[in-house]
Amino acid sequence: MSAPRDESQYCFKAPEGRWRDLSAPEDDETLEEERRKEQAEEVQAAKGDLKNALLSSLQMQHLVVLAGSGCSLEVGGPSMGDLWNAAVGEKPSEEAKGVAEKVDYSLRPARIRNIEAFLSQVEAFLQIRTDKDAKSFLKACKKVILKRCSDFLEGADLEAHMTFLHRLSRRRVRDLRLKVFTTNYDLCFERAASALGGVAMDGFSFAAPRRYDPRFFGYDIIRRPRGAEDLGNYLEGVFLLYKLHGSVNWARSKDGTILEKDNPKPEEACLIYPASGKYQQSFLQPHLESISQYLLTLREPNTCVLVVGFGFNDDHLSEPLLAAVRSNPHLRLIVVGPGIAKYDKDRQAANLYWKQLFDLNEKGEDVWFINAGFSTFAEMIPDLKALTPADSLMQAVQSATRGK
């Protein structure tokens, strides 16, 4: 394992490779001119190799994105720690202390503030007992989560999301549509798509009130010509959006129908809240359809899975992905995040899934790591439409030459 000069530097690691820097080091007067020139050349070579790798990946038949909370954090979205402070309190409130005592959850300062574990324990408690205080506290926490995951969007700069979608959704007609799976409740991807004039096929009807029906994922949009001799062309900028844990604008009615609704009440909001029990909750609609599509997609041949801003803390998503890397010989996994190089250097700080992915990378499995934040990575993505046929041919020749 070879670490970059600085774990905060932009860098990447190919299968069986070492970390290669993507940004030039700051001027170091102790280095000789020749060495500084060599470092600059190494950075340029690394950028070229990564661009070629991304180009080949984006042109695979199936292009899949798994987007985690890191994508929203950069535009002001709340972290799990933020949700803890908002729901429980930086210094736990008396109500939180009382509920914690009832459900036997320790709030001692030395313990990691894990909102998932706390809410999960409250939910488990309410499964076997009726308690007014615990029920009221859980409802209040859900209300806070809805508000914090909605309010930050007012005035948020979604330029990175727009760049990300714009470049990834411009695929060849013969390729399947981009699939974006996200664990985020917010509307960043929907707002970005709207600003671009794109279309997110999210499983809801086109007519208001928008109703959820999985069959809408099978629909597509074409541009119909005026003449009758041409059947039409697929519209650009269309992608499939699967919200694995629900959305802040989903509401479940009394008859079970799921509607798109602004500011739903906590009791009707169709979310899998941050709790360890979300594995079981994923088998209710609409989460069942999203999870099913996620599992099916990971088994497809000629597939590139792009994981961005995801910490591998959700077992029900991490375990199938890890299994797919091991069992699907035609799958390429690219993991993007700002702290990956640090995890690789200090694996004691990484969870089990990170450790196994690093091991698979070193054994030569098609697992790539890019140490960069979401907005930085969005700018790294090559624009497929900007390449002329001659450029594409040259890229293919260069890739083949390097492979010899």
End-to-end alpha carbon distance in the chain: 24
Residues 72 and 85 in one domain: no
Residues 380 and 325 in one domain: yes
pLDDT in tens, 4-50: 555 558 999 999 999 999 987 665 566 677 777 888 899 999 999 99
Number of separate domains in the chain: 2
Parent domain of 177: 11-76+157-244+282-403
What's the confidence (pLDDT) of residue 363?
A: 96
Which helix (DSSP H) or strand (DSSP E) does residue 341 occupy? helix 340-345
**Numbers of helices and strands, H then E, in the chain:** 15, 14
Which of 89, 117, 151 marks a domain boundary? 151
How confident is the prediction for the chain on average, in pLDDT?
Answer: 87
CATH assignment of the domain containing 63: 3.40.50.1220
Query: How many whole angstroms separate alpha carbon 232 and alpha carbon 222?
Result: 6
Looking at residues 81-95, what average pLDDT do you find? 92
Query: How many whole angstroms separate alpha carbon 384 and alpha carbon 208?
Result: 35
Looking at residues 74-88, what average pLDDT do you find? 91
Q: Are 289 and 295 in contact (CB under 8 A)?
A: no
What's the confidence (pLDDT) of residue 100?
A: 94
Which of 151, 184, 208 marks a domain boundary? 151
Residues 311 and 235 in one domain: yes
Is 261 among the domain residues?
no
Residues 55 and 172 in one domain: yes
Which of 95, 118, 151 marks a domain boundary? 151
Query: How many whole angstroms separate alpha carbon 44 and alpha carbon 225?
Result: 45
* Phi, psi at 238, each rounded to 5°: -100, 135
DSSP assigned state of 347: G
pLDDT in tens, 300-330: 999 999 999 999 988 889 999 999 999 999 9
Is 130 among the domain residues?
yes
What's the confidence (pLDDT) of residue 228?
A: 64
Residues 116 and 84 in one domain: yes
Query: How many whole angstroms separate alpha carbon 81 and alpha carbon 66?
Result: 22
pLDDT in tens, 109-137: 756 677 877 888 898 899 889 999 999 99
pTM of the entire structure? 0.89
What's the confidence (pLDDT) of residue 11?
A: 95
